[in-house]
Structure 1
């Protein structure tokens, strides 16, 4: 467990919350970014960040951190329609094991063939959660490559001993809870369709920084329907605004979604604010 995570977890009696902006091919220039925090009395306190330049380092950190509730910006399931059409396992854990054993080029070719056989305008299959969340279909392999993010991320969550409400209960119990998050859902509510980030240097403009400032200010005011106010220490505020790729502020938005879910833990149904009717193969985006 890292020093930053220990410090975050030691603040009060509150469980460690994490929000993860994910990459299926992280590097030192484009790492996986994890926001650390805690919540109480309608406030979400940001304590710091962890950054990981490899998938293995990220997975080890999750496994070594003994207790957390996190929202992760990648899909946890594939569309049922796609799975049935391909004849893949219809039980979630078996499906994930099958999917993890396939290489990315085979995934791309298989999904491309599925799309090619479908009429224009409905090439991709969608999960029930995709449209209310406004997210990309989880089978999409480019721009963004969320199919590869699922491939890289979910099996490592399982290996870290995480339970995924509505989908999987870990043998270790409920000390690590992983939820599917989506920062775009919260960002659209707060700043509309205005762009606040870009991976392209030429597009990392002053205007986008202004939108990041508006987004951060709205999070701090608690302006969303989640009714949670973000509390950001001064030394972290500039880090959020200066990251033109938006990875840090996306991790923070997932942190807020994790806090909303943590307040809705229950022994009935999947809990964590997930609908009781969540498809046990597809999963659900928390707060959608």
Structure 2
């Protein structure tokens, strides 16, 4: 069983790849980082998912849309048909449809939210800018389905060898360092203050001072690599790895398992550990 966290991009490149933090449970309270892997294309990432026979992964992109939005648009109310319909749309069609929905709503309530957004502090999955999570959903979920992943609470799949959990690194990062910014894609904003925030975040992860009850185990070179990544993609993948490990420990919990609420909406899904 491969355990990993995935920092995702809907348009990866060699300079801004999809990052996979591979790790393993080492005892009841420790997660050891074993490697960081990078994929410059969606195809290469999807092929890796299909070629890896058994895994549990935490993925930093939304797995579904808000029920309120889906009902308003009269799209399918079952998750798999909804995803098939969504995948059939172009990004331009998604943007136009969601922009029209927002334009008809009052200031302060433009976006519809999933139930998990509140406790997770996550962006609404219909946002198409800053961050473009609607496009990440559009690019990511079809490849999870192509890998025949089981998505607890949403999709049974045909086997139990690949488990996809929706993760959100910001949830864990805020618990440890509050609202301090620890990353930026903008070179001018890759400051010493953000470097210090990454150092504090890593120190807290290694000390295990989170409600997940897990400590991160990394080598000195790995620590240096994580600190040096001013974009924060590597640390985000590690944060998702820890959330995936927490879910794996609770694979047999009641309801959909993996620590997800028993009452999770089967259309919207849930962010692991939220």
Matching residue of 2:31: 44
The partner residue of 1:211 within 177, 197, 201 is: 197
Query: Does 1:103 find its partner at 2:90?
Result: yes
- Cα separation, 1, equivalents of 2:251 and 2:116: 20
Task: Give the match's secondary structure for 2:22.
Answer: strand
2:253–2:259: 8 Å Cα contact kept in structure 1?
no
Q: CA deviation at 1:161?
A: 1.4
Matching residue of 1:3: none
Q: How does 1:1-288 map to 2 (within 5 A)?
A: 15-39=1-25, 40-171=27-158, 173-266=159-252, 268-288=254-274
Q: CA deviation at 1:267?
A: 6.8
- Cα separation, 1, equivalents of 2:198 and 2:219: 16
- Cα separation, 1, equivalents of 2:203 and 2:139: 33
- Cα separation, 2, equivalents of 1:79 and 1:198: 28
- Cα separation, 2, equivalents of 1:186 and 1:109: 33
Q: CA deviation at 1:232?
A: 0.4
Unpaired segments of 5 or more residues in structure 1? 1-14
- Cα separation, 1, equivalents of 2:192 and 2:161: 42
- Cα separation, 2, equivalents of 1:50 and 1:167: 27
- Cα separation, 2, equivalents of 1:52 and 1:161: 20
1:170-222, Cα deviation, whole Å (9 max, x unpaired)? 12x01000000000000000000000000000000111111100000000000
List 4+ stretches of structure 1 deviating above 6 A. none
- Cα separation, 2, equivalents of 1:266 and 1:236: 32
TM-score by length of 1: 0.94
Q: CA deviation at 1:269?
A: 1.6
1:109-158, Cα deviation, whole Å (9 max, x unpaired)? 00000000111111100000001100000000000000000000001001
Q: CA deviation at 1:41?
A: 2.1
Unpaired segments of 5 or more residues in structure 2? none
